[in-house]
Homo-oligomer: A and B are copies of this chain.
């Protein structure tokens, strides 16, 4: 086995592997924080509770392992997976809807993941002008200008289900390409627009199902 293997182009990595990458990234980040520089697939598999063979298969996509028996180079793999995920670049985003959930997201530590919140937007005049963790809440009427002047492509949507779909359509017209959607509704947008849904109620219902079926 070669000492270093060339990183495969991200285009060749399967969607199933991509879906698992954020979790690898999190675990490798924790190892890095704990100043672990190398880890075997066996140790990593025990921590992550997946099989060592799954880990080897997944991480073979990224090369970056030393000679057999020496384990993975934690920092190298962390960086490579970060690059594949696009986390080495800074993505500016806005949060539309500055209620509790919007404010909670503004308080979230995005920066280590390559994201920076440039502004929150709301219709509520009592919220406009407030600052959450250094990020200002702006009047929704200034949204169009802000998106254009800051060349924003990504928006978190923390609006009620009644207003979210129409607002999302408007924002597509203003240049938004990707939505992190927390509104409990499916957005009906052009195919080239990316949507990542976080449907909290549905996740809670899944838990409810599991609780009740375990009681039967």
* Size category, A interface: 35 or more
- Proximity bits, A94-123, B CB within 8 Å = 1, else 0: 000001110111011010011100000000
Contact of A213 among B11, B26, B213 (CB under 8 A): B11
Interface string of A199-212 (1 = CB under 8 A from B): 11111111111111
Contact of A100 among B26, B107, B212, B216 (CB under 8 A): B107
On A, residues with C-beta under 8 Å from B are 10-11, 18-19, 21-23, 25-26, 48-49, 84-87, 89, 91, 99-101, 103-105, 107-108, 110, 113-115, 153-154, 177-178, 180, 184, 186, 194, 196, 198-214, 216
Give the shortest distance, in Å, between A113 (CB) and chain B (any CB): 6
Chain B residue numbers with a CB within 8 Å of A86 are 208-209, 211-213
Instruction: Let me know if B104 and A212 touch, CB within 8 A.
Output: no
Collect the chain B residues with CB atoms within 8 Å of residue A205's CB: 21-22, 25, 85, 87, 113
Tell me which residues across on chain B come within 8 A of A10, comparing CB atoms: 213, 216
A183 to chain B, nearest CB (A): 11
Min C-beta distance of A108 to chain B, whole Å: 7
Q: Check A113 against B208 for contact (C-beta < 8 Å).
A: yes
Contact indicator B22/A211 (Cβ below 8 Å): no
Given known pairs A86-B212, A211-B86, A212-B85, the reply for A196 and B202 (CB within 8 Å) is no
Asked if B11 and A211 make an inter-chain contact with CB atoms under 8 angstroms apart, the answer reads: no
CA distance A97 to B178 in the complex (A): 30
Nearest B residue to A27 by beta-carbon distance?
Answer: B186
CA distance A101 to B205 in the complex (A): 19
Chain B residues near A101 (CB-CB < 8 A): 101, 104, 107-108
> Shortest beta-carbon distance, A191 to chain B, in Å?
11
Task: Report the Cα distance A49→B195, complex, angstroms.
Answer: 15
Flag if B100 contacts A208 (CB, 8 Å): no
List 9 extra interface pairs beyond A101-B101, A104-B104, CB under 8 A.
A22-B201, A23-B202, A85-B208, A86-B209, A101-B108, A154-B207, A180-B207, A196-B206, A198-B198
